[in-house]
Amino acid sequence: MKEKASSSLARMLSVLDLFSEQAPLWTAEAIIEALQVSAPTGYRYVKTLVEAGLLQRGTDSHYHLGARIIVLDHCIRMGDPVLQQGLPFMAELVEKTGFECVISALYGAQLVDTHREYSKAPATLSYGRGRPRPLFLGAAPKVILACMGSVALRRQFAQHPKEIAAAGLPTDWDAFRRYFAAIRKAGYYFSEGELESTLAAVAVPLQKADGHVLGALSLVTTVSRMAMVDRRKLTDLVKRTAQDIVSRIP
């Protein structure tokens, strides 16, 4: 009985997975069809989620994500140890460099930015907190992937062949593994125009002594401004900052 209830709850919560940037509005009928459940079950799911504040009914019988999720996002920020410890250091990096500072993390198969510290002349970034980024483009995901063990990295390799090829990465496992091993050895990655053509970034992993990766710390600016800095000094600065943040996290 317990197993059945757990399965039903998981099925109901999967309604939330239907909502995305491409599909922010859903009717109850479309939800029922997408989940392949009976009409009474589907309507019950929607009603329960509305009552919980996780869904809200808008115009023309369409539903969108509810305001409770905004409240939960605030709670996530307050409870995130990386942000609790990292925000002052991010502000200091921005002050020293004039670049944008971003913390990113991997959640399942999605790479998302959890915080962006703005400079006085903000770069035009298409991605922000909560908007999933490509997993194989840009500095942040690459330093996170580079810290994965062989089994976990091979799983990513097997699950995303099209994305890997589209990103111009090696499609042979041995070459793919060596590519990320080189990034892991260096301890950082510079990207230029990978994610957005006008932007460059340097990222280092936020990695604890036991090897656990909490995310990535990046500095982002225009390609032209990045070309004017001493990359070695910039990399050392970001590495020291990442160590300062991680050392304060239990």
pLDDT (tens digit per residue) in 164-194? 999 999 999 999 999 999 999 999 999 999 9
Mean pLDDT, the chain, as a whole number?
A: 91
Tell me if 45 sits within 8 A of 11, measured CB to CB. yes
* Residue 147's CATH number: 3.30.450.40
Percent of the chain's residues with pLDDT above 70: 97
Question: Bridge partners of 216?
Answer: 104, 205
Whole-angstrom distance, CA of residue 58 vs CA of residue 52: 16
Residue 111 maps to a domain: yes
Per-position DSSP letters for 173-206, written without gaps between them: HHHHHHHHHHHHHHT-EEEESSSSTTEEEEEEEE
**Do 42 and 102 fall within a single domain?**
no
Q: Which domain holds residue 99?
A: 80-247
Let me know whether 117 and 195 are in one domain. Answer: yes
d(CA 99, CA 140): 15
Residue 4 has pLDDT above 60, yes or no: no
Binned at pLDDT 50, 70 and 90, residue 119 comes out as: confident
Residue 128 near residue 117, CB atoms below 8 Å: no
pLDDT digits (tens, 9 = 90+) for 29-43: 999 999 999 999 999
Whether residue 13 is predicted with pLDDT greater than 60 in this model: the reply is yes
Tokens of 214: 């909490």
